[in-house]
Chains A and B, each alone.
Chain A
């Protein structure tokens, strides 16, 4: 896949509300995976 970061993508990367959502989702993803690790 040829992937390029368009001006629209660049705007999304700095959209504060969207990035707040991504921040929450990234943390949840990491915590879920870490929970699996802690049970090891």
Chain B
């Protein structure tokens, strides 16, 4: 009987767990370790954060789902991994004794560790800004947004700033969606003229989103994502400032540096800034108790996999095989990392270091669809290894498709959304020898009510899929 352990129940971990439970659950030992006993549908926390969706509609209890799939559930936080003796040390959520959970195969799918401490004054706990990166944060953001609305209703003008809260942050798409939803809510309440909205980000250009932006053909002309997002911001009266790394926050003030090395500050009344994401940051021990973390994780705590690390950016941009295909650690081949937890070989967007030596570089996004696909690949490969002794599945981000839908208001009658389809996520200039390194037929972007329908449909179908309900395998990651 083989023991497979999954750490994390996000998009990657939950997808992996369902495939593993479905294929192996009855005859083998599948265990999921997660610090929460609920699944949270992260994309809809944008709507929670503006009061457009009730929090409970974005969660479900994990144990009943795992029971259906013969999966053991350990409610607790993984702390360390003993890679030779093959067990995970877990602090139980109920405060009980520390657990040792043995494995033959391990999937690390912990998602992002939110590094608010990386920017002094950032975040809702010890700082002055809000976040939508967890459900409690999104609820807090909603409450503070409503307080700002109350001030506007009394006639006070409010400065609202949304974007990235660290020079190396990612997830610009979610922040963008939050800002456009704020715009729509204020418009519907007749308060839009009381608010100044600012997009503040570390992207090299508007519309970069950490994926180097995109260019498509529209009516025989080339349209860039920079043009597209600029048009949306012009339509909505949103100001924007890119090439900016936030350094610290004080009450009502955001201090930043830009590409030119200029230091500046921006006043705010309400701000939502995405923190830097770090990897799980586990400590790994060998059989003698030696710390072997450097064989499994980079400095950010992300898990090293079958990528080619250490290439300069220009070489990386020309080397699609530098991106991992099976997400397997090279030293410990029974350890895999899925979703945000794996260490990418570099950024997709061009990095930049300003004259002060500050790196202002958007980290590569690996959330949502990408996380789910990697979770499936890793699970299917472990199933292969258990049943046939070899892996048969592989997919790099230079081969992966992603659809990103940023809603602008949640109404199914007069709402809208920007739909961006990228193929592949990481440009591959060898397969697509054009300036973009992408399939120009599939890659697309548009805005309209159809996107709003897509976004709501995806919420419903993913909540259905990730609970392992009937037909779950038919719904694409």
Interface size of B by CB at 8 A reads 37
Q: Does B234 contact A (CB under 8 A)?
A: yes
B476 touches A31 (CB 8 A): yes
* Chain A positions within 8 Å of B401 at CB level: 30, 33-34, 36-37
- Choose, from B216-224, B248-256, B291-299, the stretch at the interface: B216-224
B222 touches A1 (CB 8 A): yes
Q: Does B421 contact A (CB under 8 A)?
A: yes
* Chain B positions within 8 Å of A31 at CB level: 476
Q: Does B191 contact A (CB under 8 A)?
A: no
Interface string of B387-417 (1 = CB under 8 A from A): 0000001110001110100000000001010
Q: What's the least CB distance linking B298 to chain A, in Å? A: 26
Interface string of A21-40 (1 = CB under 8 A from B): 01100110111111011101
Give residues in B with beta carbon < 8 Å to A.
221-224, 227-228, 230-232, 234-235, 373, 377, 393-395, 399-401, 403, 414, 416, 419, 421, 423, 442, 444, 446-451, 453-454, 476-477
A19 touching B450 in the complex, CB below 8 Å, given contacts A3-B223, A3-B227, A5-B232 = yes
| Complex-state Cα separation, A12 to B448, whole angstroms | 8
A2 touches B227 (CB 8 A): yes
Interface size of A by CB at 8 A reads 28
A to B CB contacts below 8 Å, 19 in the list: A1-B224, A3-B227, A4-B234, A5-B232, A5-B447, A13-B448, A14-B416, A23-B453, A26-B403, A26-B446, A26-B450, A27-B454, A29-B442, A30-B476, A31-B476, A33-B442, A37-B399, A37-B400, A40-B399
The contact of B450 among A23, A38, A40, by CB within 8 Å, is A23
| Complex-state Cα separation, A15 to B414, whole angstroms | 9
B476 touches A13 (CB 8 A): no
B231 touches A4 (CB 8 A): yes
A13 touches B227 (CB 8 A): no
CB-based nearest A residue for B421: A29
* Chain B positions within 8 Å of A13 at CB level: 416, 447-449
